[in-house]
Amino acid sequence: MRIQSVRGMSDILPDQVGAWRYLEQIVQRIFSAYGLTQIRTPIVEDTELFARSIGNVTDIVEKEMYTFEDRSGDSLTLRPELTAGVVRAAIEHGLLHNQTQRLWYQGQAFRHERPQKGRYRQFHQIGVECFGIADALMDAELIEITDQIWKELGIRDCVTLQINSIGSTEARAKYRTALIDFLAAHKDQLDRDSLARLERSPLRVLDSKNDSTQALLRSAPSLMDYLTEADREHFDLLRRALKDADIGFAVNPLLVRGLDYYSRTVFEWTTEALGSQGTICGGGRYDGLVDHLGGKSTPGVGFALGMERVVLLMEALAVIPDTYRTQADVYLMPQKQACEEAIRKLARLLRQEFPSLRVLTHIGGGSLKSQLKRADKSGALFGLIIGQSELESGHIVCKPLRGGEQETLSEAGLLKRMSILRDS
Ligand code: HAM
């Protein structure tokens, strides 16, 4: 029996990897333009870290973590998200003492969910965490970064932004009591899931997908009415800053998110184009988390986008440039064994003159026809051919592979032709 990949954990194959690289390059360029620096943390952390940060009574911690005992008997967990590890590292290495940090990261996360399109057990996130800035302008700037990513990827028209403020801890505590009273008085109208949530994590009832529960929630007390004056000002400033930046949004008072560490701002970007797994990015503020994990109280705010979902959307909208789908720009073909040295010399020259040009040399002989087939498959724009007569005259045949006239060029002429390719 052949061994298969683990269910819900996919390989990213050579013909898919271009889309990923394109996404990474755009995102990393934008991060650098906003002055963010990268942090890399381990995939495995102490189980306690996630239980304490994400919350014991969340789906992630209760049902979805890959937890195991290692050979020393320690309980370890494959990270279900990256925020907790970044906060741990920032505290552990003193990155939060009298300084602000704007960090980005990228990597795998693991959740034992039921796999379907857009939902996997191993998936990849790219995200940002900023520490030391309580101002809502920081929240707005993070949202602006995500908006910029969608714009540069060409998917902005297909995504919408929802925001909410879930207030400070005191506001939520008061609201929680009011919500429990309300829901307890209408238990008969709640679905089974919501009844369970009411016992353990009442705010999560707001997240219910059940229609009759949603209908009931329309007359439930609203979290907005319980925000403190400072919470309200914070949320007002965020909305003003988003308007100033011309970023459209909808306030969704039922948006609470599935992790316990949030306070005040929460947001999600969603799309209709991917079916039920339409949330491509989520984030928010977590002013109590650093303190809760044993650090000196420090405000924090961040987001993470799901790379698989963004790539699916990019593919659906066909926004990935061709050069990210192909292997080579030029494909060099020696027509006889005697021409092989000349071809390799030419390849070295091209790589030296044009470091970003992708130069693939044919190895292994074969007819011109079969070599051209390979050239075509590589996605190259030009085939460069040296046969006996070119070897003697010092010329190169330059054959456009996507339409256009074939030319016989000198080395200098070829370099000129290739520089046009580079500039186009
Ligand atoms: P999250 O909403 O749990 O937030 O995940 C962020 C994104 O990861 C989701 O919007 C989704 O695109 C993607 N994602 C989540 N689960 C899966 C899955 N099973 N398969 C594929 N994609 C998935 C967080 O993880 C927070 N750490 C975000 C954050 C950072 N908040 C503050 N800072």
Q: 194-211 pLDDT, tens per residue? A: 998 888 889 989 988 899
Residue 308 reports pLDDT greater than 90: yes
Residue 372: the pLDDT is 97
b/e burial code for range 65-77 (CB count within 10 A of at least 16 → b): beeeeeeeeeebb
Residue 227 reports pLDDT greater than 90: yes
The DSSP output letter for 423 is H
Identify whether the C-beta of residue 55 lies closer than 8 Å to the C-beta of residue 260. Answer: yes
Residue 257 reports pLDDT greater than 80: yes
Q: Identify which of 125, 139, 204, 285 to mutate to test ligand 1's pocket (most ligand atoms within 8 A of the CB).
A: 125
Phi and psi for 283 in degrees, rounded to 5? -175, -170
Under the banding of pLDDT at 50, 70 and 90, the label for residue 145 is very high
Residue 342 reports pLDDT greater than 90: yes
Residue 201: the pLDDT is 87
Phi and psi for 107 in degrees, rounded to 5? 165, 180
User: Residue 280 CA: which ligand 1 atom is closest?
Assistant: 12
Q: Where are the alpha helices (DSSP H) in 34-164?
A: 47-54, 59, 83-92, 136-153
- Residue identifier of the C-alpha nearest atom 20 of ligand 1: 119
Phi and psi for 309 in degrees, rounded to 5? -70, -40
- Mean pLDDT, residues 355-379: 96
CA of 378 to the centre of ligand 1 (A): 35
Q: Which residue has the tokens 């799901």?
A: 306
CA of 125 to the centre of ligand 1 (A): 7
Residue 414: the pLDDT is 97
Residue 305: the pLDDT is 98
pTM of the entire predicted model: 0.95
Identify whether the C-beta of residue 263 lies closer than 8 Å to the C-beta of residue 248. Answer: no
Alpha-carbon distances, residue 46 vs 82, 129, 325 (angstroms): 13, 20, 39
Residue 209: the pLDDT is 85
Average pLDDT, the chain: 95
- Residue identifier of the C-alpha nearest atom 8 of ligand 1: 306
326-423 CATH? 3.40.50.800
Question: In this structure, what token pair is assigned to residue 174?
Answer: 């008061």
Radius of gyration of the chain (CA): 27
Residue 423: the pLDDT is 62
Domain range list for the chain:
14-168+227-317, 326-423
Selection from 288, 280, 347 nearest residue 308 by Cα: 280
- Please give the full DSSP string across 116-134, using - where no structure is assigned: BTTB-SEEEEEEEEEES--
CA of 60 to the centre of ligand 1 (A): 11
CA of 109 to the centre of ligand 1 (A): 9
Identify whether the C-beta of residue 383 lies closer than 8 Å to the C-beta of residue 333. Answer: yes
Alpha-carbon distances, residue 253 vs 71, 166, 267, 307 (angstroms): 46, 8, 11, 27
Residue 296: the pLDDT is 96
pLDDT in tens, 13-28: 999 999 999 999 999 9
Residue 422: the pLDDT is 65
Residue 262 reports pLDDT greater than 80: yes
CA of 400 to the centre of ligand 1 (A): 44
pLDDT in tens, 372-418: 999 999 999 999 999 999 999 999 999 999 999 999 999 999 999 99
Residue 270: the pLDDT is 98
Of the chain, the percentage scoring pLDDT greater than 70 comes to 99
Provide residues with CB under 6 Å of ligand 1.
81, 83, 111, 113, 119-120, 123, 125, 127, 129, 258-259, 279-284, 302-306, 308-309
User: Residue 113 CA: which ligand 1 atom is closest?
Assistant: 19
CA of 82 to the centre of ligand 1 (A): 9
Superfamily of domain 14-168+227-317: Bira Bifunctional Protein; Domain 2 (3.30.930.10)
CA of 116 to the centre of ligand 1 (A): 15
